[in-house]
Structure 1
Amino acid sequence: MEVKKEKKSTTWDKPIESVFTQVGYLVGLGNLWRFPYLCQKNGGGVFLIPYAISLAIISLPLYTFEIGLGQMTNKGRLGAWNRVPLMKGIGYASMFVTIFSMIPYMLIMGWGILFLGHSFTTGPLPWTTCDNPWNTNSCITLEMATNHTTAVSSKGAGFNVSESGMLIYTKESLPQVQFWRNYVLRIPNPESGIDGEFNWPVLCALIGAFVTVFFVTIKGIKSSGKVVYFTATFPYVMLIALLIRSVTLEGATNGIKAYLLPDLSKLANAQVWIEAVSQTVYSFGICFAAVTAIGRYNKYDHNFYRSSLWIVPAGAFSSFTMGFVTFSVLGHLAHVQNVNITDVIQSGPGLVFQVFPVGVALMPAPHIWSIMFFVMIYFVAVDSSFSEFEGLMTMIGDAFPKLVATPRNRAWSNIGLGVTFFLLSLMQLSGYGIYIFELMNYYGASGICLLWAALCESITVGWLWDADQFKRDVKNMTGSNLALYFKYCYKFLIPIVASSVLLFFIIKWEPLKVGDFQYPIWANLIGWFMSMCSILCIPIVIIYVMWKGEGTMHERFKDGLQERRNSKYVVGRNGAMSAAEKKILDDHETPI
């Protein structure tokens, strides 16, 4: 029998490159940018309880499966699901989720570049003073608050000194908040003279972001695999330094108490569980394109199972540390301003960019620390964006191999994809761009669409692929035995938790609200359309496969669970097929 040989696949030069890429991805924006503001929004310490539970039940098992799926099939997120054609809609759903996440990701990188550029100044850091063109009369620096008595006002603006000489504090009083809202976002504000004009400074930063991603991904993992040695480790160095400084700030203990001492009564709030479970799926890249793409470049016998057992906790550690630093600085700000910690800064997607500039400004040589911190944010964004961008490129390669068949073709495909994302990102640069950003992030790249995909994925590996078969596959590839706990997660725990949270989400759904702004119905309908782009992929593909099949409905269903291959036997990665691999192919042999 003739055995058709495939072209030797690209793999990581060293297994450690895969490990560093995964660590860099998991210390990414989901953990450093998104976790702190969701934690603050949902009551601090109480958020950690459902987060830890869903981390163990959902994130670790599904992350292990996705990295193994890429390694086993040697395909990206789309091609890998040829293993179970009936559920290939999960791959298409991941494509839409990744697209909707990349647009906000690139803007976050642009914000980091803008802050980094303003750190190179010989004067005070611009977010620490109140004498800038974007500051309003309500601006209060930390020095002013230290020397005056303050009182909290619910109003969004106003003069910062009352008739009695008391400072009137609002959530928009701090200079870093005004730098963020009035200069970076340019939200329309009559008092500051901002009318929501197009954001040219962020446009320049956004161009820099896309140029970076282009050059990092132009040669695929051969270039990016070397970058991650630095980008994956530097954030941890910065986090440890910021942690040491933040916990020594006056008043930090109040913030730490709010972070570590939960109000257990809030566990009855369904929203806390919904956002905690959603965050664990989001921050570990579950049902995105990146994790499977990273696994694709592993060698067939790489022990992905063993590395996952410590890489996932490392990602959780970065989230926990970032939250610790955030709440320590919030505690200090609340102490200096003499306000409650919940009144310091309004929770939202810009929390990190309003808290950490203060933290680095309070360190010795603040300009140097500011540069280092925003270099960290930049590299974290590079890691996240590269991984998702590469994930999309592998999906393009799965669907249209000629587009990535040569370095020249890959370069043009990179350019085309990058230009498309750049043009889509421009709509976030108006004065109302932050609301477009949050609409896309909330509906298109998190929440219900991720939970739905995770639910379908767990049912697939637990029942359709069969958890016992996946255990044998892991044994064949790595030599390790998959823990029985994973089997029960795939078959029972994940479907129960994910379906319960989905039900809560639907029952408790309310129109999206960011700060004091509630989105109109038409905007929420646009959001639901983005969610449906990924949600409907799964049932549509199931219907299509059943419709195109032959025989009875039962026969069509069984045929839809069988792997599709281009030939009866396919050689291994290095040009030779082992007896174990041949046996697996025989076990799953089906007509083309």
Structure 2
Amino acid sequence: MAFKLPQILGSYEQRGAYRNQKEAFLAFLGYSVGLGNFWRFPYLCAKYDGATFLIPYFAALVVIGLPLYFLELALGQYLSIGPTHLFCFISPGFCGVGWAMVLVMMLETIYYNIGIAWTLFFTANSFREHLPWELNSTENHYNAAASYFNQTVLGERQPETEINLLLLLSLAVASYLLALAIARGVWYMGKVLYITIGVAYIILPVLLVASYVKSDGTGWWDSMKEYLRVDSIKLLEGNIWCEAATQVMYTLGLAHGGLHTLASYNTFRHNFLRDTVLLVLLDTATSILCTIVVFSSLASIGQELPEDKQELANLLFIVFPALLSKIDAQPWPVIVFCMIFFFGFNSQMIMVETITTALFDQFRVLRHCYVPVVVGTCTALFLMGIPLCMRGGIRFFQCLDKNITAHSFLFLGLCEVIVAGYVYGFHNLMDIIRNRMKVPVCPLWYWYFRVMYMFVTPLFLLACLIFSWLYRDGSCGSWEVFGVIVALYPFIIVVVGVGYAVIRNWNKGLASLLEPTQDFCPEYERRERAASPKTYELQVTTTL
């Protein structure tokens, strides 16, 4: 005779979800479109003579952008879990990759937040009757704006260790606005994105028209033609191809963990291939539009591109104040800086959401303390951003930006492609996408992804990664040692993850490190396994 003895397991916490496909699409768009489009892309186009940069950028989109975007959406949607557990499930030996993504994103979030604080600083001062960067200046609009940004915003006039209190206040407001937007959950973030994205895309074309109206029409067109020229000699330089690759990774949010997190809230059979194509195209179009707006604004104020590299990096926060002082009409300054704020705020929301999701996935009990965890995370990021509010904080900002974008994301993207294409296997990946998730992948797309994942993408990423280290310029000055540590940060985390996996799986054999675990399955299967009672047969001998 056999009796069934049930073993009831703990409950499996339900994740959040989007209310509809529109909010899901807006979340991805808000994450991808940010200060990377409005600040870094125009800067790189200016650095490499306008349209010259577009050629390697479009090539990097085809080789890196589309394949990695598709891959990250596929893995996140299939498993419905963040990057920290995702890579543990697909290959325990690469468990450190997901944590490296989240921890590197945490560093990125620190300096990204100060960019949002700068926009708030300008927004607050735009409410004045007279813009402060045009009050006591006999210089032209551009020089007046540059002087204001360097001396007042960055605090070059203050002592070395003194904190710019107004900038600190702006950083605090930016941090707790993030907490307020995220604390209500994924569904509430969708409502916020309707406003922030809508406003940004309405103002951009209007700003382009305003720059034309305030300029000499003939001079405006001549300047724009100058920015559209191509210097074929520069295409032979390795730097332009490496920076194009890093810009694609940066602006699309690849190898950050954010796309995995956003996709984890999708429905299981959502057509993410369609979203991938549309989002990559929209992001690219936005980058080009932002660049045209920046360059046309320079033309309208009669200013040539600055030659100083640091001034180029600060282009966004000098050009628009200069243009607005020339327009000299309220409420334009407030509207424009709100637009820039919304661009950055959208991306920052998802970045912080990725960090908190990693905490909730690792420590499920924290899901019952959602709001305190979100507020605590934003507070920690605020505290870590305080050094950026001091004089010289811009050098810290540039050091973080340079070393994270130049090395970290290339390495993590390479690891991701190797795991999916070689460790798990391309055919296995396409099987779950086509047969289990029912995403229509036609033969043309199939062969495109096969060629990319198996050959072109890993080789291109490896070449860019090697080049970025061989030709590292060491421009961080006194911050160089710190910069090297930041650059090596993801490498160290991945290696530590390998060591941890070896120790934990020693009895199972090293081959198990490269095999998916039983948890590499859709969330509903993990939920059913956790909720269903396990039974054991107890044999009892009876005599009559």
Q: Normalising by structure 1, what TM-score?
A: 0.82
Please give the residue correspondences for 1:483-502 in structure 2 after superposition, counting only pairs within 5 Å.
483=445, 484-502=447-465
What is aligned with 1:530?
486
Which of the numbers 250, 255, 265 marks the counterpart of 2:223? Answer: 255
8 Å CA contact retained: 2:246, 2:410:
yes
- Summarize deviations over 1:316-352 as a string: whole Å, max 9, x none: 111111111111222334xx36xx5345996443210
Equivalent residue of 2:331, what SS? Answer: helix
Q: Within the alignment, does 1:417 sit opposite 2:365 as a pair?
A: no
8 Å CA contact retained: 2:61, 2:248:
yes
Q: State the distance in 1 between where 2:212 and 2:365 align.
A: 54
Q: Within the alignment, does 1:97 sit opposite 2:62 as a pair?
A: no
Which of the numbers 311, 315, 327 marks the counterpart of 1:351? Answer: 315
Q: State the distance in 1 between where 2:521 and 2:237 align.
A: 53
Equivalent residue of 2:156, what SS? Answer: coil
Ranges in structure 1 where 5+ consecutive residues have no aligned partner? 143-172, 189-193, 514-518, 578-592
Q: Within the alignment, does 1:222 sit opposite 2:187 as a pair?
A: yes
- Summarize deviations over 1:298-333 as a string: whole Å, max 9, x none: 111111111111111101111111111111222334
What is aligned with 2:516?
563
What is aligned with 2:390?
430
- Summarize deviations over 1:56-89 as a string: whole Å, max 9, x none: 1101111111122111111111111122222222
Q: Within the alignment, does 1:451 sit opposite 2:451 as a pair?
A: no
- Summarize deviations over 1:373-431 as a string: whole Å, max 9, x none: 11112212221111000001111112111112x1xx11121122111111111001111
TM superposition shift of 1:207 = 1.2
Q: Which moved more, 1:566-575 or 1:274-283?
A: 566-575
What is aligned with 1:582?
none
Which of the numbers 468, 471, 482 marks the counterpart of 2:427? Answer: 468
TM superposition shift of 1:242 = 1.6
Equivalent residue of 1:121, what SS? Answer: coil
Q: Within the alignment, does 1:46 sit opposite 2:14 as a pair?
A: no
Say how many residue pairs are matched: 515
- Summarize deviations over 1:358-379 as a string: whole Å, max 9, x none: 333444x632121111111221
Q: Which moved more, 1:60-69 or 1:365-374?
A: 365-374
Q: Within the alignment, does 1:66 sit opposite 2:72 as a pair?
A: yes
When residues 567 and 472 of structure 1 are mapped into structure 2, their CA distance, relative to the original with a 3 A threshold, is: closer
Which of the numbers 283, 286, 309 marks the counterpart of 1:318? Answer: 286
8 Å CA contact retained: 2:176, 2:375:
no
TM superposition shift of 1:243 = 2.1
Equivalent residue of 2:176, what SS? Answer: helix
Q: State the distance in 1 between where 2:330 and 2:362 align.
A: 47
Q: Within the alignment, does 1:118 sit opposite 2:72 as a pair?
A: no
Q: Which moved more, 1:41-50 or 1:450-459?
A: 41-50
Which of the numbers 159, 179, 182 marks the counterpart of 2:151? Answer: 182
When residues 345 and 174 of structure 1 are mapped into structure 2, their CA distance, relative to the original with a 3 A threshold, is: farther
8 Å CA contact retained: 1:109, 1:209:
yes
Q: State the distance in 1 between where 2:438 and 2:132 align.
A: 53
8 Å CA contact retained: 2:95, 2:501:
no
Equivalent residue of 1:298, what SS? Answer: coil
Ranges in structure 2 where 5+ consecutive residues have no aligned partner? 531-544
- Summarize deviations over 1:153-183 as a string: whole Å, max 9, x none: xxxxxxxxxxxxxxxxxxxx71110110011
When residues 52 and 550 of structure 1 are mapped into structure 2, their CA distance, relative to the original with a 3 A threshold, is: same
- Summarize deviations over 1:474-522 as a string: whole Å, max 9, x none: 2121431161212211111111111111121122111125xxxxx13xx
Q: State the distance in 2 between where 1:479 and 1:418 align.
A: 37
* RMSD after superposition: 2.6
Please give the residue correspondences for 1:294-443 in structure 2 after superposition, counting only pairs within 5 Å.
294-333=262-301, 336=302, 340-343=304-307, 347-363=311-327, 366-404=329-367, 406=368, 409-443=369-403
Q: State the distance in 1 between where 2:519 and 2:427 align.
A: 26
Identity across aligned pairs (percent)?
Answer: 26
- Summarize deviations over 1:35-70 as a string: whole Å, max 9, x none: 111221233221111111101110111111112211
Equivalent position amino acid for 2:266 in 1: N
- Summarize deviations over 1:199-238 as a string: whole Å, max 9, x none: 0111111111011001001122132121111112221111
TM superposition shift of 1:549 = 3.0
8 Å CA contact retained: 1:304, 1:478:
no
Equivalent position amino acid for 2:316 in 1: V
What is aligned with 1:275?
243
- Summarize deviations over 1:519-564 as a string: whole Å, max 9, x none: 13xx211111112221222233234323443479xx523x123233
When residues 180 and 267 of structure 1 are mapped into structure 2, their CA distance, relative to the original with a 3 A threshold, is: same
TM superposition shift of 1:8 = 3.8
8 Å CA contact retained: 1:9, 1:574:
no
Q: State the distance in 2 between where 1:272 and 1:130 align.
A: 40
Equivalent position amino acid for 1:83 in 2: I
Equivalent residue of 2:240, what SS? Answer: helix
When residues 330 and 299 of structure 1 are mapped into structure 2, their CA distance, relative to the original with a 3 A threshold, is: same
When residues 569 and 301 of structure 1 are mapped into structure 2, their CA distance, relative to the original with a 3 A threshold, is: closer
TM superposition shift of 1:283 = 0.9
Q: State the distance in 2 between where 1:27 and 1:185 align.
A: 25
When residues 575 and 228 of structure 1 are mapped into structure 2, their CA distance, relative to the original with a 3 A threshold, is: farther
What is aligned with 1:88?
95
Q: Which moved more, 1:284-293 or 1:565-574?
A: 565-574
When residues 360 and 469 of structure 1 are mapped into structure 2, their CA distance, relative to the original with a 3 A threshold, is: farther
Which of the numbers 496, 499, 505 marks the counterpart of 1:540? Answer: 496
When residues 7 and 431 of structure 1 are mapped into structure 2, their CA distance, relative to the original with a 3 A threshold, is: closer
Equivalent position amino acid for 1:80 in 2: L
